Structure 1
Amino acid sequence: MPTDVVTFYDTHPINEEQVLRALAEKGIDPGRLSEKDLQAHDQDHFGGLEANDSLIAMAGIGPQHRVLDVCSGLGGPARYLADKVGCRVVGLDLNRSRYEGAQRFTQLARLDHLVTFENGNALEMPFEAGTFDVVMGQEAWCHVPHKPRLIAECARVLKPGGCFAFTDILRRDGLSEAEMARLRVDMAFPDLETLSGYSSLLEANGCTVERCDDLSPWWTQVLVDRLAMYRSLGTDTARKFGQARSAAWDEFYAFFVGLYQLGRLGGGRFIARKR
């Protein structure tokens, strides 16, 4: 049976408790926490701060903009963006524990005057049409079913002239149905789009694609490093969720990384403007 995305992130190795423990081990007082203190722990996407900076630059995000981060998780990129640029950011996430953790970290970092969060569904966004200047996302839309509806919702809440700026996990030639079935079960990927598929969906929803970058070679190395990072968290994962969950995570994440090494999964970065 496919894994529910809420369950997947409720038992994820990177979680609020793990981040707070890592900060405590560094001697950082949560009452005096800064966004920079969190950066080493809350950027749960491929490429870290470099990936954030690339999206910021390519989208031309400035302090005057209002940004929506779709599937925002613990809120690391949203806080980084607000702290670096001074813009207002809204994060939307389906997972209640991620949403609550994002709120608490944002309050601790004293950025809640710029960054807020909504607990909601990306396929039924609780926002009026034309609300945001930028809609962004990083390796999370792979968890959302029905990509045409997702892109349509993002386009709906984007202002005319506004910018899509996102990256996502993509399927490539050679990925078998058996491998996709395992990704549904182990990684909570209901389906995966392709590089050309996302470009077509953006165009079909009134957007002009400015960039469509294949990040697969870079991500393959990034993911080898991430597998090592997750293995370093094995003791924490076992303590919180049990040894069986820790062992299962290691097994299926190694399978996931292996699909990149085989060229059957990839990554893409998309910049598009709503006409």
Structure 2
Amino acid sequence: MPEQISTHYGRGMNLTDRIANDLQSSGFDLSNLRPSDFEPIDEFHFRGRAATVQLLEQMKLAPGNHVLDIGSGLGGVARTIAEEANASVVGVDLTPEFCEAANAISNWVDLGDKTDFLQGDATDLPFPDNQFDGAVTVHVAMNIPNKLAMYQEAHRVLKPGARFGIYDIVQGEGGDVLYPAPWATDASISQLATPAEMSNYLLQAGFRILHEEDSTAESFNWLKERATQPKPTRSLPVTTQLLFGDTAAEMTQNQLLGLRERRMLTYCFICEA
């Protein structure tokens, strides 16, 4: 399963070079970029950077805190946290190509000193106990069969009383998810849980749930607007099509239908270790 997931996202491409070449060929200067410039690809979860900021507001972080991003992808969430909370963030992701590109992008936007990205497994984190002041995971659990192990590991590496923010896609009551989706081309690597199952895993792992929220309607409206709005005259050429190729448009339509029919939900949990 881990190899299938890594292959799905990595797709055998040199992402760092592809992103750099696309930017330079479109006239962008790699030394004059901002973290928010990369939102179309490095915060391609529902509601983008705004959702990350909303999650961050409930994390109660202090400047200089040490934060873990589990399933960090291309690093957008980690960079937003580093930038907005003045925190030091370590990201862990199963896909080596994502980690390499995430470190490169952080260096391009002058956040390399506040972020670091490592290849690793969310169910077996390479850190000692009680190391982090906070942790987040954004649109990650959909690919993880053993969610309890993932949350137990998060609890283990957090300091007592630290907060854990989860923003994920979960199984809705409206029927089976439609594929392809960004996290899976078919059901073989899709591991959605219901909100009730997610709550149970978090409680079993030792967390206290402080807040939970269903944002499915907001996610549908956001994606609908994003899919129909005209493309800006000058925009970064780096989009989700770089990751998913010709299936990106089909994935968008499947997600719109899935959210509208509540086959899939977007859900947030704020927990305390």
Equivalent residue number for residue 122 of structure 1: 122
Equivalent residue number for residue 50 of structure 1: 50
Change (3 A) 1:98 1:142: same
Residues 1-275 of structure 1: pairs in structure 2 closer than 5 A = 4-11=4-11, 16=16, 19-20=19-20, 23-24=23-24, 27-39=27-39, 41-176=41-176, 179=177, 185-186=185-186, 189-227=189-227, 246-274=245-273
Instruction: Report the Cα distance in structure 1 between the residues aligned to 2:252 and 2:5, rounded to whole angstroms.
Output: 15
Q: CA offset at residue 28 of structure 1? A: 2.9
Secondary structure of residue in 2 paired with 1:30: coil
User: What do you get for the CA RMSD once the two structures are aligned?
Assistant: 3.4
Report Cα offsets for 1:120-153 as digits up to 9, x if no partner. Answer: 1111111111111111011122122211111111
Q: CA offset at residue 255 of structure 1? A: 2.2
Instruction: Report the Cα distance in structure 1 between the residues aligned to 2:61 and 2:3, rounded to whole angstroms.
Output: 35
Q: Which runs of 5+ in 2 are unaligned?
A: none
Aligned residues, how many? 266
Report Cα offsets for 1:193-250 as digits up to 9, x if no partner. Answer: 1222222221222211111101111111223345558x999x989x978xxx744343
**TM-score, structure 2 normalization:** 0.83
- For 1:264, the aligned partner's letter is R
Q: CA offset at residue 63 of structure 1? A: 1.0
- Verify the 8 A CA contact 1:79 1:111 in the aligned structure 2: yes
- Verify the 8 A CA contact 1:134 1:162 in the aligned structure 2: yes
Change (3 A) 1:256 1:117: same
Change (3 A) 1:236 1:166: closer
Q: Which runs of 5+ in 1 are unaligned?
A: none
Which protein is richer in helix relative to its size? Answer: 1
Instruction: Report the Cα distance in structure 1 between the residues aligned to 2:44 and 2:90, rounded to whole angstroms.
Output: 17
Instruction: Report the Cα distance in structure 1 between the residues aligned to 2:188 and 2:222, rounded to whole angstroms.
Output: 20
Q: CA offset at residue 4 of structure 1? A: 2.2
Give identity over the alignment, percent: 26
